[in-house]
Structure 1
Amino acid sequence: MTEVTDFFRQGGGLSDTLPSFELRPGQIELVRAIEKSLSQHTHLVAEAGTGIGKTFSYLLPTLQHDKQVVISTATKHLQEQIFFKDLPLVEKALHKKVSACLLKGRGNYFCHYRYEMFLGSAFQLNKTQAKKVSRLQDWVQQTQSGDLSEIAAFVAEDYAFKKKITSTRENCLNSECPYFDDCFVQKVREKAKKSAVVVVNHSLLMADIVLKETGFAEILPETDVVVIDEAHHLPKIATQAFAEQVSSNQLLELGKDTLQVYRREAGDVEGFADCVEALIGAVDDLRDALADARPNGQVQLAKLKQFKRAYQAFQVLMQVFSEFLHALKALAERSSDLQKINERAEITAERIKSVFSPTAADDSHNDDTERQAAQSVAILEWHADYFKACRLPIHLGNRWQNVMQAYADSWLFVSATLSVGQSFDFFIDSLGLPADIATLQVNSPFNYAEQSVIHILPDLPAPNQHDFVPALVDAVLPILQKTKGRAFMLFTSYRNLYEAAELMQNSDFHLFIQGEHPKSQLIDAFMQSDNAVLLGTVSFWEGVDVAGEKLSCVIIDKIPFPSPGDPMIAEQSRYLESTGRSAFAHCYIPKAATLLKQGAGRLIRSNHDTGVLIFGDNRMLTKSYGRQLIEALPPARQVDSDALFTFIEDTL
């Protein structure tokens, strides 16, 4: 058998397949480490700097050795890139065809039953709805996958409509559904069980892990290897998946589905509709009360009393839900559909109990609830038209190690941002990995010292001062004039973003401001425009790839420390302090360093890119922790103002 590393050398399979292929010694090192993990059935945490080619580095070894593999990445976009672009190239390099499946969450697939329910409740469609239904029916007759991304432009613009034609775990009838044999979700999951390679995202992987823990169901097949790409996202997604939660949408959908089944199966029972309407009204009242308190926010449930009206609305909702549950139970025996609705309501009740009981939005406590409250945090989060309450584990402890042992022989965690300095401790601890897990850090092949420079603006006010943003804008405008725009301005808050946008609106630059258009449209317009400056917050700090001369400057307003007012951060800090560790050193600094590395990574995307990286937060120069944050960045030269402008003149 050909050595896998031979595929990565000049004249190997990849150089024949990819015209732009370049030999990268770091990639060979990564492939060897992955091969070792596969052959020894061990695990690996590997940081592969931008440009290493991490996707090929794990695809070729796993497929060459005929391993059954589940590949999980952060987003559906990256899923599709791996499945439709990278995997076919690897098949070509290996001269072999691999059975593979792209598997998404059920909310991405058309549901025949939910669609029938929607049509049954839509007594009179308006012209727009009728047109959508007509187009949808034509597509349903033709599609093989039922994946709504095939009609993304048509569906994505109407989230409410999409919800009506897709299922959730709560409302799916499973084998009792009259359309079970035609179910697109079941078909693609059956295909996945027969595939050598299954490409999923982290949320779906976690949904499968949680299901497997119950012992009653599974989504993904048994596998030899799990590859976690973009692994830096996994701790947060795993924490959310291990949480118990209930949302306003779940309660409203339960109420509306109950009304529909009731009218069909038990419409002669007086008073029940009023009970359901009371539930829907109570959800709306709590949502409105939260929005009145603050447009967007989150609070520990135990501290909800500070919002008097919201606390009262919460108490009413709990009482009304209890009455709804009692009334529904009395009707459940009338039909199988009512039984299913009742089972769904009881599951929701169990979740409510799990989320709320230990916080005591009332004041009752016992030893068990005190213990659970100490190990978890219950949070109520809300936006203008939505709220959710969830109880999250503060630390994953040994739970993830148990998952790894039960799930696959080898786990590979790969990303461009897993270390802080030379240490992987933050990632390992946040996921609860074994302390002795193998690690590897492979630096980017790019020559950052020649391709880019870093400049920290030395004389700006402190970021918490009212004149910080005006001073930042004044300082960067001359730089932007020299770079002719071609810049991302990345902010840690919408407040700073909007203030900067207003100050720059009369400048000569073509501004693209997050929120004015969808992200993909902003990126496309930015790349097609001259003298362009894009202003964005955290969603633009990663996952955005603008190679070439169109992006030559990245400006970051301040150190992206997490907010101490975030309930999860507050509880994680308490946990760290209780174990004798500094929350600032073990939480705030690593989180900020990771996000800084991601933001800085937007600048240099190829061997031919050049650019300047500007920071507005001079704490990176004046504070003792500044050096640690600078060392987390790509190894570009740190220069003063004169050298910065010289570099721009000579290089950009």
Structure 2
Amino acid sequence: MPKPDLPSVEDLLTTAVKELGGAERPGQVKMARAVQDALEKSEHLAVQAGTGTGKSLAYLVPAIRHAAGSEHAVVVSTATIALQRQLVDRDLPRLAEALEAELPKKPEFAILKGRRNYLCRYKATVGMPDDEGDQLFDPREVSATGRMVQKIQEWAEETETGDRDELVPGVSEQAWRQFSVTARECLGAQRCPSGGECFAELARERAGLVDVVVTNHALLAIDAMEDFAVLPEHDVVVVDEAHELVDRVTSVVTDELSDTGVGIAARRAGRLIEQGVADRLQAAAEDLQSLLAAAPPGRIDDLPNSLGMSLALVRDAAFGCLTALGPRSGDKDNPENASLRKAAFTALDEVHDTAQRMLDAFGGDSEVDRAEVVWLDAGHGRVPPTLRVAPLSVGGMLRDKLFGDRTVILTSATLALGGTFDGMAAQWGLGTDGWTGLDVGSPFDHTRSGILYVAKHLPQPGRDGLPEAYLTEIAELIEAAGGRTLGLFSSTRAANAATEALRDRLTVPLLCQGDDSTSQLVKKFAADPATCLFGTLSLWQGVDVPGPSLTLVIIDRIPFPRPDDPLSSSRQRHVAAKGGNGFMTVAATHAALLLAQGAGRLLRSTTDRGVIAVLDPRLATARYSSFLLNSLPPYWRTTDPQKVRQALKRLTTPT
């Protein structure tokens, strides 16, 4: 625990705010005290802190104080690259300068990413066989990839970090894959000829010497779930953007199987073992290809005999290749051959284990006994039809692996859904004890600054696109606002349809996601108050436009998961089979989270004013509406379209 001669967290926060030129915010002080209290008691803490609270400073100051008085680093995990960069490039450097005189030494920090994000010196030097070399490519794409490869080779001669994010503009995954390895493909620093100068190892060494390590949710999950340590030793984790944690962890523990992946494993093995053994795996890949090409996409509730036989063939053929490869420690003295063997073992292990995992997923006697769901994604372009398997819940994993032996602080602007932290806590695997939930509020006066308008008079949304009444309502709201509108739609199809239908009706510029890169579209939208921007999921959470350019946020419908979404529908059914309310636990919680994130786009500074317009009348009429409304900030509410148009005209008319 921190040494008694360290300044209090309140004094350090006051110093930091003063040095950084800010103003004290009650919510920030309350949060910093709560974080410090949780660290002292070794209890988990969930903190909802609205936009403008200054939550980064509120957790960084007590985290740095804790690190200064202990032997371990504090790990800060984020969901987005944007927040990672904000912390590493802006917040932490300024904070370290501000607190240097108050602490025994200047706080140090580092960023740590997954191994695939760093250039592999050995692979860049000796090269590796191309797993996809026998596939057909568009010559123009091959040429473009060649230029990217040359760019990486030139950069490799000068980079000091090997971090892929240094490459601006970026390169394709196909090009980067030729210069990187996964953690499982890596030979290890002791066996690799380039181990002494490995960029990933050097980054990890730096991270082991600092006070604060910034990483991402995926790497945090890998560190918690795998048998090998990825992050340096630590006893405290701060999870920022914690509303994303479950989805990111689910992605990490989701496995996939396709004929392409099986074929790559067969080719890697074929370079090292008797061809006939590898050919059996290639034949199993071709059998899987034929089966998946004819199968309907979607959730697979019962294992068809044909699929069960195909998966067993893949598993057994992969095991045959693994056996033929011999001891895993072979070829210690031949690095090039050792790297080929490691790549083969990695691909074969993944194919074998995933096929077995999919077979095991159907082992339960009833829905209650099931722990995982299997589904088929339809192929598109060069991506083949792909089987996927994911857990129905990651709460148990998080409880055992993440929360078990460290103190975890979870924070976001959106955690208290329906007015309580219980829903998110259940998803994280936290019980009723050992954690505290705290809402420190927001510096915004939502009641005076914003209106939540629900278009109760409109028909319920259907499955056949946007009704004409919705298009008319959108047009009238935008005209009243004089542009200045962010349209958040539940699907790409709806966003495109609204754009196509309204471009001729409106006199203001209308941008749609997909017209350009999202970052460029947001820049154009922010630069011209008359402009409107329509889009889907990434805009619900990724837009920060303070000022008059964003006065109206339109949400076309309550963002429930698609009824045919394999994972969410399976999770709903599983909860119901265990006696719970699957709709409220899964679908309504998902919708509440996204609604709150979407509504959060409106007020980004204390001087912002505007309207959230939800066109879906169910937000005013359905039995679950109170749960959704209680998840939103306390805006002034109305269902009167005339009042809203008048308010928008007043807001956008110069005085």
TM-score range for the pair, normalised by the shorter chain length: 0.7 to 0.9
- What is aligned with 2:609? 610
CA deviation after TM superposition for structure 1 residue 414, in Å = 0.6
Aligned residue identity for 1:77: A
- What is aligned with 1:582? 581
Aligned residue identity for 2:473: A
Residue of 83, 87, 98 corresponding to 2:88: 83
- What is aligned with 1:113? 122
On the 8 A contact 1:510/1:530 being kept in 2, the answer is no
Structure 2: how far apart are the matches of 1:342 and 1:387?
23
- What is aligned with 1:418? 415
Structure 2: how far apart are the matches of 1:163 and 1:372?
41
- What is aligned with 2:244? 233
> Is 1:134 equivalent to 2:150 in the alignment?
yes
Query: What do the CA deviations read for 1:75-102 (whole angstroms, capped 9, x no partner)?
Result: 2222121111111121122125222110
On the 8 A contact 2:393/2:427 being kept in 1, the answer is yes
> Is 1:169 equivalent to 2:183 in the alignment?
yes
Where do residues 478-557 of structure 1 align in structure 2 (5 Å cutoff)? 478-506=476-504, 507-557=506-556
- What is aligned with 1:623? 622
Structure 1: how far apart are the matches of 2:617 and 2:607?
30
CA deviation after TM superposition for structure 1 residue 277, in Å = 5.3
On the 8 A contact 2:553/2:611 being kept in 1, the answer is yes
Alignment CA distance shift 1:270-1:241 (3 Å) = closer
Aligned residue identity for 2:350: T
SS of structure 2 residue aligned to 1:604 = coil
Structure 2: how far apart are the matches of 1:389 and 1:120?
26
Structure 2: how far apart are the matches of 1:573 and 1:116?
50
Structure 1: how far apart are the matches of 2:617 and 2:464?
16
Structure 1: how far apart are the matches of 2:361 and 2:36?
47
Aligned residue identity for 1:195: V
Give aligned-pair identity as a percent.
30
- Over the aligned positions, Cα root-mean-square deviation in angstroms equals 3.1
Where do residues 342-421 of structure 1 align in structure 2 (5 Å cutoff)? 343-360=345-362, 374-384=370-380, 385-386=383-384, 388-396=386-394, 398-404=396-402, 406-408=404-406, 410-421=407-418
Structure 1: how far apart are the matches of 2:148 and 2:536?
34
Structure 2: how far apart are the matches of 1:341 and 1:222?
28
- What is aligned with 1:13? 16
Query: What do the CA deviations read for 1:336-395 (whole angstroms, capped 9, x no partner)?
Result: 5464355335522442244222245xxxx5x7x879962222333344115554433323
> Is 1:22 equivalent to 2:16 in the alignment?
no
> Is 1:219 equivalent to 2:230 in the alignment?
yes
Structure 1, 60-69 or 274-283: larger mean CA deviation: 274-283
Structure 2: how far apart are the matches of 1:608 and 1:647?
16
- What is aligned with 1:188? 203
- What is aligned with 1:198? 213
On the 8 A contact 2:486/2:552 being kept in 1, the answer is yes
Query: What do the CA deviations read for 1:51-107 (whole angstroms, capped 9, x no partner)?
Result: 111110000111123252000011222212111111112112212522211011122
Structure 1: how far apart are the matches of 2:500 and 2:417?
35
> Is 1:427 equivalent to 2:424 in the alignment?
yes
Structure 1: how far apart are the matches of 2:319 and 2:396?
36
Structure 1: how far apart are the matches of 2:234 and 2:318?
43
Query: What do the CA deviations read for 1:598-643 (whole angstroms, capped 9, x no partner)?
Result: 0000111110111111111011122232233223222111132232
SS of structure 2 residue aligned to 1:542 = helix
On the 8 A contact 1:355/1:390 being kept in 2, the answer is no
Residue of 99, 105, 109 corresponding to 1:100: 109
Aligned residue identity for 1:340: K
- What is aligned with 1:37? 38
Structure 2: how far apart are the matches of 1:457 and 1:577?
32
Structure 1, 315-324 or 345-354: larger mean CA deviation: 315-324
On the 8 A contact 1:490/1:557 being kept in 2, the answer is yes
Aligned residue identity for 2:210: S
On the 8 A contact 1:421/1:628 being kept in 2, the answer is yes
- What is aligned with 2:442? 444
Query: What do the CA deviations read for 1:450-473 (whole angstroms, capped 9, x no partner)?
Result: 221121112222101647443211
Structure 1: how far apart are the matches of 2:28 and 2:44?
18
Structure 2: how far apart are the matches of 1:414 and 1:389?
34
- What is aligned with 1:308? none
SS of structure 1 residue aligned to 2:302 = helix
Alignment CA distance shift 1:636-1:117 (3 Å) = same
Relative to total residues, which structure has the larger helix share, 1 or 2? 1
- What is aligned with 2:3? none
Aligned residue identity for 2:30: E
Where do residues 44-55 of structure 1 align in structure 2 (5 Å cutoff)? 44-55=45-56
CA deviation after TM superposition for structure 1 residue 535, in Å = 1.3
Aligned residue identity for 1:455: Y
On the 8 A contact 1:252/1:283 being kept in 2, the answer is no
Structure 2: how far apart are the matches of 1:353 and 1:465?
36
- What is aligned with 2:334? none
CA deviation after TM superposition for structure 1 residue 504, in Å = 1.6
Structure 2: how far apart are the matches of 1:625 and 1:47?
22
**Which stretches in structure 2 are left out of the alignment for 5+ residues?**
1-5, 332-336
- What is aligned with 1:4? 9
On the 8 A contact 2:74/2:212 being kept in 1, the answer is yes
Structure 1, 436-445 or 510-519: larger mean CA deviation: 510-519
CA deviation after TM superposition for structure 1 residue 171, in Å = 2.5
Query: What do the CA deviations read for 1:558-588 (whole angstroms, capped 9, x no partner)?
Result: 1111233323223322332234322223332
Alignment CA distance shift 1:177-1:564 (3 Å) = same
On the 8 A contact 1:245/1:351 being kept in 2, the answer is no
Aligned residue identity for 2:36: E
Structure 2: how far apart are the matches of 1:220 and 1:554?
40
SS of structure 2 residue aligned to 1:142 = coil
Alignment CA distance shift 1:504-1:404 (3 Å) = same
Structure 1, 125-134 or 411-420: larger mean CA deviation: 125-134
Structure 2: how far apart are the matches of 1:56 and 1:472?
42
Structure 2: how far apart are the matches of 1:100 and 1:388?
40
CA deviation after TM superposition for structure 1 residue 270, in Å = 5.7
**Which stretches in structure 1 are left out of the alignment for 5+ residues?**
306-310
Structure 1: how far apart are the matches of 2:50 and 2:485?
22
SS of structure 1 residue aligned to 2:553 = strand
Structure 2: how far apart are the matches of 1:242 and 1:497?
31
Structure 2: how far apart are the matches of 1:242 and 1:78?
23
On the 8 A contact 1:225/1:411 being kept in 2, the answer is yes
- What is aligned with 1:326? 320
- What is aligned with 1:210? 225
Alignment CA distance shift 1:610-1:36 (3 Å) = same
Alignment CA distance shift 1:248-1:230 (3 Å) = farther
On the 8 A contact 2:541/2:597 being kept in 1, the answer is yes
TM-score (norm 2): 0.86
On the 8 A contact 1:301/1:380 being kept in 2, the answer is no
